[in-house]
Amino acid sequence: MKKIYLNSILFLLTHSLFSQNLYFGEKVFLNDIKSISHVSEVYSSMEKKELKDLKFEAKVNSVCKVKGCWMNLDLENGQEIMVNFKDYSFFVPKDIEGKKVIVDGKASIEILSVKQLQHYAYDAGKTDEEIKKIVDPKKVYSFEAKGVLIK
């Protein structure tokens, strides 16, 4: 009987340790999470310099390979959302490509300069040849996360 009891406790402890979500920045609460289609509609209707509070779940397409200081999320319509972290107060692991995350923060639309785009390309591990091909500024869907939950 003691063995069954001990095995049950060990199972529960192990299960709870390995099923925990990872939080970075502020804790992300699991209420009022918007669908990715809703997020796409919000960005489509936004003006430059406008800010919108959002919390949503998406797949990570890429992460800064230098220190995890940004990530790109899949908007599921061929576009991505460039996520930075509030005040650079936290970073995410560099190995989370393909994982689902829930982000909480502010959405905006920005025009990134050639210099910024080249810097991000370098961070992403692009070759010098690929970086030199970046010659025009680009309008991007941007997001400043105050908290990230990795599922």
Q: What is the pTM of this model?
A: 0.81
Phi and psi at residue 88, to the nearest 5°: 50, 35
Q: Which stretches within the chain are classed as H helix? A: 2-18, 36-45, 114-123, 128-132
Is the pLDDT at 16 greater than 80? The verdict is no
Choose the most confident range, by mean pLDDT, from 19-23, 124-128, 134-138.
134-138
Phi and psi at residue 6, to the nearest 5°: -65, -45
Domain ranges across the chain: 22-150
CA-CA distance, 27 to 146, in Å (whole number)?
A: 9
Q: Please report the pLDDT score of residue 3 as a whole number.
A: 52
Is the pLDDT at 97 greater than 60? The verdict is yes
CATH number of 22-150: 2.40.50
- Per-residue pLDDT tens digits for 50-85: 999 999 999 999 999 999 999 999 999 899 999 999
Three-class DSSP category at 18: helix
Q: Please report the pLDDT score of residue 107 as a whole number.
A: 98
Q: Please report the pLDDT score of residue 124 as a whole number.
A: 86
